[in-house]
Amino acid sequence: MSKDSLTLSILIIEDNLGDFVLLEDHLLEKFDAIQIFHEESFESAILTIKSDKKIDIILLDLVLPDLQGEVLAKKIQQNTTDIPIIILTGYTDIDLARKILSLGVSDFLIKDEINPEILYKSIIYSLERKSYINGLNKTKKTYQDLFNLSPQPMWLYDTSTLFFLDVNQAAIDKYGYTLEEFRSMTIKDIRPKNQIKYLQDSLAKHALTGSVGFAGFFTHTLKSGKNISVEIFSSNIDYNGRLVRLVLANDVTDKLEHTKKIEAQNVKLKDIAWTQSHVVRAPLSRILGIINLIELESFNSKDLPYLIEQLKLSGNEMDVIVRNIVNEAKLLNINESNNE
């Protein structure tokens, strides 16, 4: 039978030399390119694990001179996050085996029953399972990061109690509460008192019907007491087996402020346009009217001095109006630069 050419480095933690030699024989019978590290105590094993040696899998005897049983398995595991561990023991204690398996140990082999086949199968199976679980964890982490590291404040709340279940870092930064504080609060606690009714109406319309997407504009209160305007998007999601509401809050305070300023400016500009049409045209039309009259009456009219005086007055009136417009337009500019 041909050997597996998988490159593997295996740490065997076994104080009984006879057992170690047997294991080594089994391994060499099945694997072509393995490297074996051997440690005889918990203390020395930990040193090897913590060193920069690359270890792919650990075979662990459950009875070592300095540590045994469940505590030993736990301690080894704490120091090896990604390395699969196969437990070896002479005990035929199934209960202990089960218990240790539930800690996340990969497999459990009874020494008296070990042969090359069983050992080989267990190692390959443990490695495959570990890489599969690592893949799953990576996916899970990616999705958690999408929530936790999102630049937009997000949170989850329970639709029946309204308590916050989880909030992301952006929400913590924006609202000023810690995660613990958030978890002891309901979504009512981030609203001004006069907005509670509005919130309840919105909950009836969106959260309870499970609608997805834009839920409206709301006022939220930060820990500092400052109110902000937010645009809320929400949807129902399954969270650890229960249905909860996922909320994304977009702070539009500045945007709304900006819009208000632009609207105020538009009113001013309209005022100026109105002035142009009504106020400026009044003396201007008078000037043109007087000129029409002078033309009509010929230039040697005895009223000419009077009409010229009127021309002058209207001209001056227009001058004042135009100056006022210029000043108002200047005021617009000053407001702009103050806002920045």
Partner 1 sequence: MNKHVLLVDDDPIFHIIFTRMIKKVYPELSVNSSLNGKIALEYLNTNYSEESQYIILLDINMPVYNGWQFLDIIKKKEIILNNNIIIFVVTSSTDLDDIKRAKSYSFVKDTLSKPLSVDSLNHVLQPLINE
Q: Output the smallest distance, CB 185 to partner 1, in A.
A: 53
Q: Output the smallest distance, CB 273 to partner 1, in A.
A: 9
Dig out the tokens for 287 from the structure: 């000037």
Query: Which of residues 82 and 297 has its CB atom nearest to partner 1 in the complex?
Result: 297
Who's near 103: CB < 8 A, 6+ residues apart? 70, 73, 74, 77
Which residue in the block uniquely carries the two structure tokens 């103050």?
A: 338
Q: Output the smallest distance, CB 316 to partner 1, in A.
A: 13
Who's near 303: CB < 8 A, 6+ residues apart? 297
Q: Count CB atoms within 10 A of the CB of residue 143.
A: 9
Cα separation, 169 vs 171, in Å, equals 5
Query: Which of residues 277 and 327 has its CB atom nearest to partner 1 in the complex?
Result: 277
Instruction: Compute the CA torsion angle 200, 206, 207, 213 (nearest 10 deg).
Output: -130
Strands (E) across 168-212 are located at none
Q: Output the smallest distance, CB 272 to partner 1, in A.
A: 13
- Print burial letters for 237-269: b (CB count within 10 Å at least 16), e (below 16): eeeeeeebbbbbbebeeeeeeeeeeeeeeeeee
User: H or E stretch including 106?
Assistant: none
Q: Output the smallest distance, CB 263 to partner 1, in A.
A: 20
In Å, what is the CA distance from 75 to each residue of 42, 60, 271? 9, 12, 79
Query: Which of residues 152 and 285 has its CB atom nearest to partner 1 in the complex?
Result: 285
Q: Output the smallest distance, CB 206 to partner 1, in A.
A: 42
Amino acid at 181: E
Ramachandran assignment for 210, one of left (phi > 0), alpha (psi -120 to 50 degrees), beta (any other) = left
Q: With CA atoms as reference, report the closest residue to 103 among 62, 56, 48, 44.
A: 62
Query: Which of residues 1 and 296 has its CB atom nearest to partner 1 in the complex?
Result: 296
Q: Which residues form the interface with partner 1 (CB under 8 A)? A: 274, 277-278, 281-282, 284-293, 296-297, 310, 314
Q: Output the smallest distance, CB 307 to partner 1, in A.
A: 9
Q: Output the smallest distance, CB 246 to partner 1, in A.
A: 49
Query: Which of residues 133 and 290 has its CB atom nearest to partner 1 in the complex?
Result: 290
Query: Which of residues 68 and 324 has its CB atom nearest to partner 1 in the complex?
Result: 324
Query: Which of residues 44 and 324 has its CB atom nearest to partner 1 in the complex?
Result: 324
Who's near 44: CB < 8 A, 6+ residues apart? none
Q: With CA atoms as reference, report the closest residue to 20 among 3, 32, 45, 37.
A: 37
Q: Output the smallest distance, CB 298 to partner 1, in A.
A: 11
Query: Which of residues 81 and 277 has its CB atom nearest to partner 1 in the complex?
Result: 277
Q: How many CA atoms lie within 13 A of 72 on its CB side?
A: 25
Query: Which of residues 105 and 318 has its CB atom nearest to partner 1 in the complex?
Result: 318
